[in-house]
Amino acid sequence: MQKKLDIPRVLIEALPYIQKFQGKTIVVKYGGNAMASDTLQNSFARDIILMKHVGINPIVVHGGGPQIGNLLERLGKESKFVSGIRVTDEETMDIVQMVLGGLVNKQIVTLINKNGGRAIGLTGKDGNFIHAKKMVFSKDDPGMNTAEIIDIGHVGEITHIDPNIIEMLVNSDFIPVVAPIGVGREGQSYNINADTVAGRLAEVLQAEKLLLLTNTPGILDRQNKLLTGLSAMDVKGLIHDGVIYGGMLPKVQCALSAIENGVNTVHIIDGRVEHATLLEIFTVKGVGTLLKRASE
């Protein structure tokens, strides 16, 4: 009987959020451990489909670093990184396109469609919708007066996003699934960080929310307690104090850019939790860290 009573309570708790976010756009960056098991994959797909069915417009941007690394290893090619960025020579870029634009993208599209949704996969090269240029990476050398320039290959930074193709898909009741590959002025392909693509896309679309699925509960304090309801000023203070560091920094910087450029809230949530996306959006407590604009 208690389980039966819990169902209407959950629905009643979700109702005001469904009403509030109806017709709004939510960009979700999907990857990491959220892809690690069939159970998590299916719970994610159902979360996205439910969002669409209640009138929210979800857009999925995915990564695929482990899958790229696995294929490179099978082909006998070493993965090289500079400050956490994958060095992407021409041969590696071909593999990145195969894995991100082909294997991973179509797996996610199939997963959503199999669970009753209508997803369409694309890369930033489709419709030339993610324009990029070669990232210039420099590394400070204490023994030199100028920073050393390091060639990291076909790694790109976004110069412009044309939202027309995404808006066309959303208006046709499809769920876009985006692989983070950009296109240069001469048609070159560029490997772009998936968090960056998700963040910039959320900014361009003026999304209601940006959700970043991670392998941690969210932003933690020095006692490993979850922090939430943070403003941009709070986050900058945590960075300055060294509470936020290492692998969390790029995600947090992406989040800061989003909330400072028109996205209402950013959520850094644990992709290892079943239905984490719905729990964060449709419940009072949530399951991760909420970053909000000053006016929120």
- Total residues belonging to the chain: 296
**81 C-beta neighbours (distance < 10 Å), count:** 11
Which CATH superfamily, name and number, covers 22-292? Acetylglutamate kinase-like (3.40.1160.10)
The predicted structure's pLDDT at residue 293:
78
Percent of the chain as helix, strand, coil, to the nearest 5:
45, 25, 30
Pairwise CA distance, residues 250 & 294, whole Å: 21
Query: pLDDT value at position 1?
Result: 46
* Closest of 254, 262, 271 to residue 218, by C-alpha: 271
Closest CA to 96 of 127, 62, 131, 72: 72
**Average pLDDT of the segment spanning 177-181:** 97
CA distance 278 to 104: 23
Q: What is the pLDDT of residue 10?
A: 74
Read off the pLDDT of residues 9-65 as tens digits, 9 standing for 90 and up: 777 888 889 999 999 999 999 987 667 788 899 999 999 999 999 999 999 999 988
φ, ψ at 94 (rounded to 5°)? -60, -40
Pairing of strands 137-139, 130-134: unpaired
Question: Residue 173 and residue 176: Cα distance in Å, rounded?
Answer: 9
- Mean pLDDT, to the nearest integer, of 229-237? 90
Model confidence at 3: pLDDT above 50: no
What's the CA gap between 158 and 181, in Å, rounded? 10
Over the stretch 209-229, which tens digit does the pLDDT of each residue have? 999 998 888 899 888 899 989
CB-based burial label for 212 (10 Å; 0-12, 13-18, 19+): buried
